[in-house]
Structure 1
Amino acid sequence: MRFRINALLVFLALFSTSTMAAESHFRGVTCKSDVAKQLLGRQVLNDRPAAIEAMHRDLNLESLGSIGVEAAGDPWTMSTWLICGREYLFLEKKGIIKDVLASPYPAGEPQSEVSPCVIDSKPESSSLVWFSLDQSKEKSKLANQAWAIDDKKVKFIKLQAKSIQCESTR
């Protein structure tokens, strides 16, 4: 009898673990919640973006793509999603969301770009994440806000500058 109970407990533990592993990292997130705070530290579901979007139609999810980066042999990924109409960027390492950056603009078209910039008349050697409301067709744009990425800590670092001029890829 004791063996059967232990076997049942093991089965239930395995079943619940596999069920939890199949759940999305967006589980429990709502449009009224602090999305950035809720996602921080969550494990990323390794599934096609279309499948994740389908699981969370209530969030109006849209994957905007991802960039894989390897710094000193230590890879990490930056993913961009529209969630409830707002753009969010995630830094992921080893399947865990390490940092989340919400667009400084509440809703609308995605406005983040990743490209080289000139900060206070000095060229920045690494690419930055930046946002601009400038909808002109000019390639060089004044960034309203910009962040560098700390490769070691896998964190967004807000830049403080008088002028941030970036090359648009759009």
Structure 2
Amino acid sequence: MYDERLSAPLSLWLLPVAAGLTSALILLPYGLTASLVAMVLASALSSVALGSYGSPRIRVVQGVLLAGEARLPLEVLGQALPLDRKEALAWRTWKSDPRAFMLLRSYIHTALRVEVTDPADPTPYLYLSTRHPQRLAEVIEAGRASQREGQGQGAQGASARDGEQPEPRSDRPVG
């Protein structure tokens, strides 16, 4: 239904290059080999770090919201509020609640705030950095609506069968 990777922008990928060049310059007095090894190692390590930082995904699949480490069924989610750049800044600073789950990426300036309605969960809301907050909100609401419809049909089917006698069940194989 929805899948977004919060990958780092191309401009941030200049950092591993800068780290490699800086390391090479620092170790240049120890020889060209040490300088090249330092450049390769620093570039590789910082690339891995940047890649893992930019690897979280936000997904909505089969009635479940997966956001980074969080996994919540759509039925425990409340209102989804898309946040523009200004509101997103407010919700990640002075409006934020320390109990909230925040999947925050500083290079993504828009977000979605989703209420958590589960009374057993102390998390009041999810703050999700996303490049497509309106689309994600629509997908969450559509998923919640389809679950409500499915539960309503299941309840109607059960009440229609209440007056009927259940068929005898046998654990023996038929035939």
TM-score between both structures, scaled by the size of structure 1 = 0.28
Higher relative contact order (CA 8 A, sep 6+): 2
* Greater strand proportion: 1
* Greater helix proportion: 2
TM-score between both structures, scaled by the size of structure 2 = 0.28
- Give the structure with higher Rg (CA): 2
